[in-house]
Amino acid sequence: MGKTNYILVTGGVLSEVGKVITAASVGAVLQAKGVTVSVQKCDPYLNVDAGLLNPKEHGECFVTKDGAETDLDLGHYERFLDLELTQKNATLSGRLLRDLIADERAGKFGGKTVQLVPHLTNAIKTAIHEAATGDIHLVEIGGTVGDYEGLSFVEAIREFSLEVGRENCLFVHVVYVPFLEASQEYKTKPAQNALADLRGFGIMPDVVAVRTEGHAAPPKSIGEKIAISSGVRSEGIVMMPNVATVYEVPLAVARDLGQLLSEFSGVTTEPKLERWQRLARRDDAEYPHEIRVGLVAKYTDNSDTYLSVTEALKSAAWANNSEIRIEWISAEEASDEDFAEVDAVVVPGGFGERGVEGKIAAATYCLEHNKPYLGICLGLQVAVIAAARRGGVADANSEEFGAEAGKNVVYIMDGQEGKESTGGTMRLGDYPAKLVAESLAARVYDATEVTERHRHRYEVNQQFTQAVAAGGVKISGTSPDATLVEFVEAPANDYFIATQAHPEFRSRPFRPHPLFDGLVKAALKM
């Protein structure tokens, strides 16, 4: 195409209306047409990053390859578009304002009054330019149009469209149409008001994605009514009722917006959607096998806290022609009976002492009963603690949980002391590891050198290697200089492996990560 065009996605009526899946699906359809796509999430939060957000409320903290701590939406984009995103792909008000204030303090504005317009809006526009690559750059504006904290972002994309040329921008507005049970009818007035709000800010959308839920697909008259009231042409209206799986959404986008996307991109090639058709079918397919995987977790009341883990498990199961049931096991209440009832156990990453003994118990049970086990980050540390206790180190524990010298089989990394409540200071992003030849880890990866993403400040204390080995666990992967433990496994078990990394972040719906694939294969043999 030669130059970058832009698709700018906003939302109305209420938050969490489906902007991410809509934008990701549009990107997936464009990719299926041979168009190169990049993506950016702009959030009006005053947080500098997502590292200190409460996972119980906001879901998982997704980490990019360069160590950016972002919200879970970037995970959706990576999985849908098979991209490896960076800090540039996540833009938050807090970071922009922090940098603006730093520049003002340094005298870079020459004594001028620093204002939201034009200084913050200019910073937003610069961030969009810096993140844009390829043929089309997707920009999602978080929150809802009309929210106070998001006004600068809406103004910024309005200005941006004028500067790069309105013809080079496609505005997509996602709205919600509720269904009233009492009258058994859809109500379009909230959507009409949301569109009026957007026009009031000087933006006329080209596409309106209409979200509905709880009932069969709404009648075409709903879309027609919104088109007439908004001035958006009928071919720019896409109806998006709830579907069995989010992987159906690209198919709906291709069906309803195909012509418009062809016009905008200049690429008339029909999208190759076979991969998405297969993904859409697999969620409700009949499988010859079923496995039960126990996820030993602290935040069992919010599955989004472990979204990448559950998506990686599902992808691995479906790739192995198996249905999967994820059993949520409370780390605070876990028992041997819970572990016995499942075919495999996963202990995901986490922080804090609450529930850690339940996670240690999970690792111990799997060691002693040859139960398939996958430990992630803290899941590696509790596996090492469990093995050390079995190997003779009474009361072995982590410094994070108060372990003293002589019992601290996991300790805080050099340079991390005093930073426990500070964001952006952990060992973050991609780091390489060297695997022991012929180890389970090397066999699973079919490699002896791998790179995975990390998010931790505690590390295995190698002074306890002998005790850990006596307890049934050996080191099977380290940092290239051998100073940091990256993988451990149990040689006597069929599948007991743990990594200090977060492999779930690199799993894809159509290409499951080897560690999850290995766990599912082992569970199917149980």
Strands 289-297 and 344-347: parallel
Query: Domain residue spans in the chain?
Result: 5-279, 288-524
Tokens standing for 72?
């879970």
Q: What is the pLDDT of residues 424-433, one digit of tens each?
A: 789 999 999 9
pLDDT of residue 59: 86
pLDDT of residue 394: 92
More confident site: 77 or 179: 77
Tokens standing for 208?
């309106």
Contact 191, 176 (CB under 8 A): yes
Tokens standing for 306?
């472990």
Asked whether residue 52 carries a pLDDT value surpassing 70, the answer given is yes
- Give the max Cα distance, the chain: 75
Short-list 244, 243, 273, 247, CA closest to 258: 273
pLDDT of residue 432: 98
Instruction: Tell me what the mean pLDDT of segment 447-463 comes to.
Output: 97
The SS3 call for residue 94 is helix
Asked whether residue 88 carries a pLDDT value surpassing 80, the answer given is yes
Provide the residue type at 260 as one letter: L
pLDDT of residue 176: 92
Provide the residue type at 316 as one letter: A
Cα–Cα distance, 224 to 230 (Å, whole number): 10
Contact 249, 21 (CB under 8 A): yes
Q: What is the pLDDT of residues 319-370, one digit of tens each?
A: 999 999 999 999 999 999 999 999 999 999 998 899 999 999 999 999 999 9
Asked whether residue 154 carries a pLDDT value surpassing 60, the answer given is yes
Cα–Cα distance, 518 to 525 (Å, whole number): 11
The one catalytic residue in 76, 119, 454, 502 is 502
Q: Based on the residue annotation, tell me whether 169 is a catalytic residue of this protein.
A: no
pLDDT of residue 194: 93
Q: Residue 128 CB: number of other CB atoms within 10 A? A: 21
| Right CATH for 5-279 from 3.20.20.300, 3.10.150.10, 3.40.50.300, 3.40.50.720 | 3.40.50.300
Least confident of 160-164, 176-180, 332-336: 176-180
Contact 107, 84 (CB under 8 A): no
Short-list 401, 410, 404, CA closest to 465: 410
Q: Residue 427 CB: number of other CB atoms within 10 A? A: 17
Instruction: Answer yes or no: same fold for 5-279 and 288-524.
Output: yes
Contact 209, 238 (CB under 8 A): yes
pLDDT of residue 229: 84
Contact 464, 413 (CB under 8 A): no
Tokens standing for 163?
């500067």
pTM over 0.75: yes
pLDDT of residue 38: 98
Cα–Cα distance, 107 to 114 (Å, whole number): 11
Cα–Cα distance, 251 to 270 (Å, whole number): 12
Asked whether residue 214 carries a pLDDT value surpassing 80, the answer given is no
CB crowding 152-188: b at 16 or more within 10 Å, else e: bbbbbbbbbbeebeeeebbbbbbbbbbeeeeeeebeb
Instruction: Tell me what the mean pLDDT of segment 129-133 comes to.
Output: 96
Instruction: Tell me what the mean pLDDT of segment 80-103 comes to.
Output: 96
Rg of the chain over CA atoms, in angstroms? 25
Asked whether residue 135 carries a pLDDT value surpassing 70, the answer given is yes
Q: Based on the residue annotation, tell me whether 502 is a catalytic residue of this protein.
A: yes
Asked whether residue 1 carries a pLDDT value surpassing 80, the answer given is no
Cα–Cα distance, 138 to 170 (Å, whole number): 9
Element (H, E) at 360: helix 356-369
pLDDT of residue 223: 86
Asked whether residue 16 carries a pLDDT value surpassing 80, the answer given is no
The one catalytic residue in 248, 454, 504, 513 is 504
Instruction: Tell me what the mean pLDDT of segment 498-512 comes to.
Output: 97
Strands 474-478 and 485-489: antiparallel
Tokens standing for 413?
């990394």
Tokens standing for 522?
């082992």
Q: Which alpha helices (H) appear in 66-206, and where do they start and end? A: 73-81, 93-105, 121-131, 151-164, 189-200
220-230 vs 189-200: helix crossing angle, rounded to 10 = 30
pLDDT of residue 69: 94
Short-list 516, 59, 55, 60, CA closest to 293: 516
Q: Where are the beta strands (DSSP E) in 17-157?
A: 37-43, 62-63, 69-70, 90-92, 136-141
pLDDT of residue 2: 63
- Length of the chain counted residue by residue: 526
Q: What is the mean pLDDT of the chain?
A: 93
Q: Residue 466 CB: number of other CB atoms within 10 A? A: 13
Cα–Cα distance, 60 to 65 (Å, whole number): 16
Q: Based on the residue annotation, tell me whether 377 is a catalytic residue of this protein.
A: yes
Instruction: Tell me what the mean pLDDT of segment 27-56 comes to.
Output: 91
| Count of helix runs (H) and strand runs (E) in the chain | 17, 23
| Right CATH for 288-524 from 3.40.50.880, 3.20.20.150, 3.30.1490.100, 3.30.70.270 | 3.40.50.880
Tokens standing for 109?
């504005």
pLDDT class of 401 with cuts at 50, 70, 90:
very high
Instruction: Tell me what the mean pLDDT of segment 486-501 comes to.
Output: 98
% of the chain with per-residue pLDDT over 90: 79
Handedness of CA 480, 483, 487, 490 (dihedral sign): positive
Least confident of 87-96, 162-171, 172-181: 172-181
The one catalytic residue in 78, 169, 377, 489 is 377
Tokens standing for 350?
């986490």
Instruction: Tell me what the mean pLDDT of segment 46-68 comes to.
Output: 88
Least confident of 208-217, 406-415, 503-512: 208-217
Asked whether residue 217 carries a pLDDT value surpassing 80, the answer given is no
Short-list 120, 105, 92, CA closest to 423: 92
Contact 452, 397 (CB under 8 A): no
pLDDT class of 175 with cuts at 50, 70, 90:
very high
